[in-house]
Every structure is written in structure tokens, then in C-alpha cells.
Amino acid sequence: MKKIFQSIVSWFDAHAGLEKLKSLSPKELDKIDWFRAVPFIAMQLMCLGVFWVGFSWIALATAVALYVIRMFAITGFYHRYFSHKTFRTSRPVQFIFGLVGASSVQRGPLWWAAHHRTHHKLSDLPGDPHSPVLYGFWKSHMGWFMTRRHFPTNFKLIPDLTKYPELMFLNRFDIVVPVVLAFGTYYFGKLLQIYAPHLGTNGPQMLIWGFFISTTALFHGTATINSLSHLFGWKRFKITDESRNNPLLAIITLGEGWHNNHHRYQSATRQGFYWWEYDFTYYALKVLSWFKIITHIKPVSQKIYQEVRDQKALKKLIKAGQLTDLLPDPNPLPKNAS
Ligand SMILES: [Zn+2]
Ligand SMILES: [Zn+2]
């Protein structure tokens, strides 16, 4: 009973009761805390409300707009800024995008960045929070963060972020911004019902589409990078983890699908390394940089492009049969062996 109470308290205060986790065994830490995960599960079940509230084009458009804006906050800021510091920005802008990101129900920016830094340190090795190679699809997609082990934020990994009390606040009370957005969508629908009745929407319909459906799609879209992009696609760079480039995932995540590129060279702002590797997050960040809202965008190092050219040249030589000593020997035993 006490445990259930603690789980419920941590819905509202994500930093509460963390000390108690230290006494748990590794097995207990890896168990899913179902009570703690109730808001996340409820969010997905609420999508079924669509059968009661019906459809309107304005509700769909709002859902899509909120998906795109918040996906950009996650990929451009939670990922490329808070986790990797691939560009610089001012404290107010950092806070504003932290706030927009926090409305995505993907916890606070500090929690997100700390787990993501662990992912890059231990990619597809024991200790990686989400590796489909080690734990399978479901655990790497959503099971991992519902375990007791991964509810807390490891502040040791993000000393550059913990110094900002406003970010600490967002991280601690991570339920606040999503709740405000949910109410916002409801009242937006109600206002449209009164002032633009021809649009055919209302409060409950806008709440289901604008908040629940949009946020659930946004969550699963983002999570494909933890699950599918370490399973499906191709590897441009022969690195030790299973990250892959996947053009389909790059569409739904606004450019994060070039995940093998990103694992090879994390400090670049762009993840599509060539013009044909569309990276919508990068284009939007570039626009922000024209207005000096962000600065010091980091390019892909020339060393990396050279690496790609060298690999291509080597493959060509092998194909032309000019590097036979590198091919597997069909007769591996030396002639004098008996
Ligand atoms: Zn990353
Ligand atoms: Zn990865």
C-alpha cells in the first residue's frame, strides 16, 4: 500500500521518493511500476474516446500541428540541444523549448537528456536503457521507462543542465505542462464551438484529437528511434552498435531516422549528412539561426565525409577484383599443411 502511495505521489512530483529506490535489488528495479505508469497508460486509452467525439478537419489539423511543433521541440531541443549541445542558445529560448518539449509527455528535459547520454555511452551494451538487440522490441520501445530503474533522473550525467532552476522545476513537476496543454485544447475546442460553429468541433473532440491522439502518436513516433532504428535500415558506418539509417523513420521524426549517421558523429547539428537525407529538424534550426535565436551550429566534420569516400573507394576496388587479398580465402590452409 505504501509503495502504491509513493507511486501516486511521484505522478505529481517526479523527484519524490528517489532515495528509497537505492534499497531495491536489481531485479526489483527492473520490474515495471504499473501504478507509476497509470497516467501514461491512461493517455493511450483516452484515444478510444474518438468513437464518442467523432471527427472534424480542424481537430485533425490541430493534432497534426501539435505533433509537428512538439516533435521539433523533442528532436531539435531535447535531443540535439539538451542531450548533445550541438548548438548554443539563450536561457529564455532554452526554457521555452524545454517547456514545449515537456508538453509531449516524455518527461522533463533533464530526465530525457540523462537517459539519452547513457544510451550513447553504452549503445547496445548492457546498461543501455533501450536496446532492441538486448531486450527486444517492446522493452526498448516503451517497457524500459516504466521500470523503477528508469523513473529517476541521473543528475550526475547532466551537470551542465542542473544549474538552471527553471529546468529543474520542469523536470520535477513534469505532469504540469501536459495538463495545461490538455485543458488548453479543451477550451480551444469550446471557443471554436461558440465562435466558429461551422467548423464542427467542440471541447471534448479537440481534447481527444489535439491532446490524446496527437501526444500518443508523438510518443510512438519518437520511440521508434529507440526501437526500430536499431533494427531496420542500413549502416553507412561500421560502428560497434546496431544503429541504422532509415528514411521512413526520418519522415515521422523530422530527420532523426539517420540514426547511424548520428551514432557515428553525435556532435553535428544535422543528422542527414547529405542533401538527399532530408532532415526537417535541421532545416528549422537553420532558420532559427538566421534570426540569431540559436548560434554555433556544428557542421559534420570533413573527416567523416572522407571516411565515407574511403569506404566507397575500397568497396569499388573489391568489386573490381583488385583487392583479392582482402576477400575470404576459399582455400585457407597453406600449401605445405597436410
Ligand atoms: Zn543522440
Ligand atoms: Zn541509438
Complete DSSP assignment for 251-287: HHTTSTTBHHHHHH-TT-S-S--STTS--HHHHHHHH
Q: 222 CA to middle of ligand 1, Å?
A: 12
pLDDT confidence of residue 201: 97
Positions in the chain whose pLDDT score sits under 70: 323-338
Q: Position of cell 528509497?
A: 20
| pLDDT at site 21 | 80
The C-alpha cell of 312 is what?
566507397
- Asked if the structure places residue 288 within a domain, the reply is yes
Total domains in the fold of the chain: 1
How high is the pLDDT of residue 122?
95
Ligand closest in space to the Cα of 241: 2
Domain coverage including residue 230 = 2-306
In a domain, 315, yes or no: no
Give a yes or no: residue 322 inside a domain: no
Find the 122 Cα to ligand 2 centroid distance in Å: 10
pLDDT at residue number 338: 47
The whole-number pLDDT of residue 14 equals 86
Which ligand is the nearest neighbour of the Cα of 124? Answer: 2
Does a structural domain hold residue 325?
no
Report whether 39 contacts 133 (CB < 8 A): no
Cα 228 to ligand 2 centroid, rounded to whole Å: 10
Ligand nearest to the CA of 268: 1
How many angstroms separate the alpha carbon of residue 40 from the centre of ligand 2?
23
**170 within domain boundaries:** yes
Q: Looking at this protein, which amino acid is placed at residue 328?
A: P
Summarize pLDDT for 278-334 with one digit per residue, the tens.
999 999 999 999 999 999 999 999 999 999 999 988 888 888 877 666 555 656 666
Give the closest ligand to the alpha carbon of residue 78: 1
| Any domain includes 314 | no
In the reported structure, the alpha carbon of residue 243 is separated from the centroid of ligand 2 by a whole-number distance in angstroms of 6
Q: How far is CA 178 from CA 12, 23, 192, 320, in A?
A: 12, 31, 21, 58
- Number of neighbours of residue 161 by Cβ within 10 angstroms: 22
Q: What is the mean pLDDT of the chain?
A: 93
